[in-house]
Amino acid sequence: MLNSRDSAYGKLRRKINGSFSTFVDTVLWEAAWKGCDPLPCKVDRHWQPYYVRCAYCQVPYGAVGRLETFDEDAEFVFRSSNLTRTIPVAEASSRRNIARGRAGHRDGGGDKVRAYFSRLSREQKLGLYKLYQIDFEMFGYSADMYL
């Protein structure tokens, strides 16, 4: 993620001029220009599809967690790895919720996402889906909410 102290932040802000729609156009233009169909996809790493830089298919993961179910996933990993004595599950969960500043938040920011995506054209939404389709499929997400 970029923050205001990151040197790339200023460049990015000037490039996209502040609008989410303009940002999406920038991402889609860069993906088309750099040949993300599906590889090599050498776009800015901040919005590069995950499948490009992840060895998901080459590594035999025992579990894959999601932010939406972080607490349950962390508990599963801690318990199945016998780490509950080292890192109490309740303590890890409460620290994460305090850091996020939204204990109990379960929708993953869905209302905010819907608000941003309502400002996009159908063409932009389909372009984003095409760019990230492998990620959606690989991790079992549906694009219905976005399209």
Say what the pLDDT of residue 8 is: 59
Which of the residue ranges 17-21, 29-33, 52-56 has the most confident prediction, judged by mean pLDDT?
29-33
Q: Which pLDDT band, with edges at 50, 70 and 90, does 105 fall under?
A: very low
Nearest to 21 by CA among 109, 127, 144: 127
Beta carbons of 35 and 41 less than 8 angstroms apart:
yes
Nearest to 92 by CA among 73, 65, 74, 67: 74
CB atoms within 10 A of CB 43: 22
Say what the pLDDT of residue 54 is: 79
pLDDT per residue as tens digits for the range 123-132: 999 999 999 9
What pTM value is reported for the model? 0.67
More confident residue, 120 or 109: 120
Answer yes or no: is pLDDT of 7 > 70: no
Angle at which helix 20-33 crosses helix 7-16, to 10 degrees, equals: 100
Q: How far apart are CA 92 and CA 104, in angstroms?
A: 14
Average pLDDT, the chain: 77
